[in-house]
Amino acid sequence: MPVKNRFAELHDEITAWRRDIHEHPELLYETDRTSALVADKLTEFGCDEVVTGIGRTGVIGVIKGNSDSSGRVIGLRADMDALPILEDTGVPYASKTPGVMHACGHDGHTAMLLGAAKYLSETRNFNGTVVVIFQPAEEGGAGGKAMCDDGLMDRWGIQEVYGMHNWPGQDAGTFSIRPGAFFAATDVFEIDFQGKGGHAAKPHETVDTTVMAAQAILALQTIASRNADPVDQVVVSVTSFETSSKAFNVIPQGVSLRGTVRTLAPETRDLAQTRIIEICNGIAATFGGTVEIDYVRNYPVMVNSEQETDFAVEVARSVSGECADAPLVMGGEDFAFMLEERPGAYILVGNGDTSPVHHPKYNFNDEIIPAGCSWYAEIAEKRMPAA
């Protein structure tokens, strides 16, 4: 793998950073230790500016090239937060925080961008400015939006922005990407049916909310099968069914459903929300009950801009020799908020034959560190070649 020689030399050091972060995972915006470690490293590397507290616990490092006649400013982003999962890897550097682990590889993303920052601070072989972005709360907390809301793009004049995620099941150190819509919009809903509870032996005296909820679960699947255009991707999943009574002989007064909607186009997103409301209102009216629906739009569709994707492919091929076409992903990614503000691209780097992300046995593959670091660094050097 033709990675930069410097990253082969730094491999053990970057791996040690990664494993230290893995051992001390932190959730959402509570990345105090990780953020402090990142800020200390960036200062140690000699970054021209290090700023903390962007998006609550985000960290920014600014690295100026040997010249700045291009006036170009590029952002490179990594996420820092972990997941509320009990680790089951058995590695010697396993999480010391019960019920919290780096099950998505953000420890690896952070370490790789730190490695790239160290190299770029040493060499400065580019004409422009690099802004390294370390983001909290990717896992459901919209940390990317919080950083943008704090003026990330305007304050540092970022013109384009790039991110990366490891990908289990893809050959280690290889890359894949796609232009346009890549990761899905991720919305959530809560549906509360109310009826008339009573004795299970006298259903005729009740308004049965379990029947309403059961009908709703089945009917919501017709959004994908009968409302959306078959060529448009949409997933409607009810993931929780909770009644107000746990007794065997009671028809409950209320039932709450929770779930998620995943879409890849704004029109399909609107359709799904509208139909969920219409279907549930209709079912409640049909059975004589009432319903309250709380629908929340979370992460938008993550859209790679075409020109920047082509450039990301060029860089990936220079590092690993190839870059495959990635599939559409119905998972969410809050790098979408940054790509709404600036053109850029998000790429996948193979993690090899490992457990999937969000799994208790998942572990980031340290062997891919030189490839990831090289891609980040080459983005800067190839986009802003030295004058």
* DSSP alpha helix (H) spans, 288-322: 306-320
Task: Single out the residue in 299, 328, 359 at which a domain terminates.
Answer: 299
Annotated ligand binding at 106? The verdict is yes
Domain membership of residue 136 as a residue range: 5-182+302-383
On whether 358 is known to bind a ligand per the annotation, the reply is yes
What pLDDT score does 387 carry? 83
- 104 marked among binding-site residues: yes
Q: What is the DSSP string of 33-88?
A: HHHHHHHHHHHHHT-SEEEEEETTTEEEEEEE-SB-TT--EEEEEEE--BBS----
51: amino acid identity, one letter: V
Note the pLDDT of residue 249.
98
Q: What is the mean pLDDT of the chain?
A: 97
What number is the average pLDDT over the span 174-201? Answer: 98
The pair of structure tokens assigned to 276 is: 């969920």
Last residue of a domain, one of 299, 328, 352: 299
Task: For residues 164 and 176, give the distance between their C-alpha atoms in angstroms, rounded to a whole number.
Answer: 10
Q: In whole angstroms, what is the distance from residue 122 CA to residue 346 CA? A: 25
The predicted structure's pLDDT at residue 4: 82
Q: Do 193 and 284 belong together in one domain?
A: yes
Q: CA–CA separation, 336 vs 362, rounded Å?
A: 24
CATH of residue 200's domain is: 3.30.70.360
Main-chain phi, psi angles of 136, to 5 degrees: -85, 170
**Are 16 and 83 found together in one domain?**
yes
Are residues 283 and 328 located together in one domain of the fold?
no
Question: What gap in Å lies between CA 157 and CA 153, rounded to an integer?
Answer: 6
Lookup: tokens for 275: 């139909």
Residue 15: predicted pLDDT: 98
Q: Mark whether 234 and 190 lie in a shared domain.
A: yes
Distance from the first to the final alpha carbon of the chain: 28
What's CA 81's distance to the chain center, in Å? 10
How many domains is the chain partitioned into structurally?
2
Please state, in angstroms and as integers, the Cα–Cα distance from residue 54 to each residue in 38, 176, 301, 322, 382, following that order: 13, 30, 23, 35, 28
204 is in an annotated binding site: no
Residue 134 has what pLDDT?
Answer: 99
Please determine, for residue 2, whether its predicted confidence score (pLDDT) is greater than 70.
no
- Asked whether residue 152 falls in the same domain as residue 52, the answer is yes
Say yes or no: 255 and 321 in one domain: no
> Which among 248, 276, 299 is the end of a domain?
299
Whole-number pLDDT of residue 80: 98
Confirm if 305 and 343 have CB atoms less than 8 A apart.
yes
- Confidence check: pLDDT of 1 > 50: no
Q: What is the pLDDT of residue 159?
A: 98
| 109 in a known ligand binding site | no
Q: How many residues does the chain have?
A: 387
* Closest by CA position to 89, among listed 171, 25, 12: 25
Structure tokens at 211: 């029947």
pLDDT digits (tens, 9 = 90+) for 29-50: 999 999 999 999 999 999 999 9
Environment class of 255 (CB within 10 Å of its CB; exposed 0-12, middle 13-18, buried 19+): buried
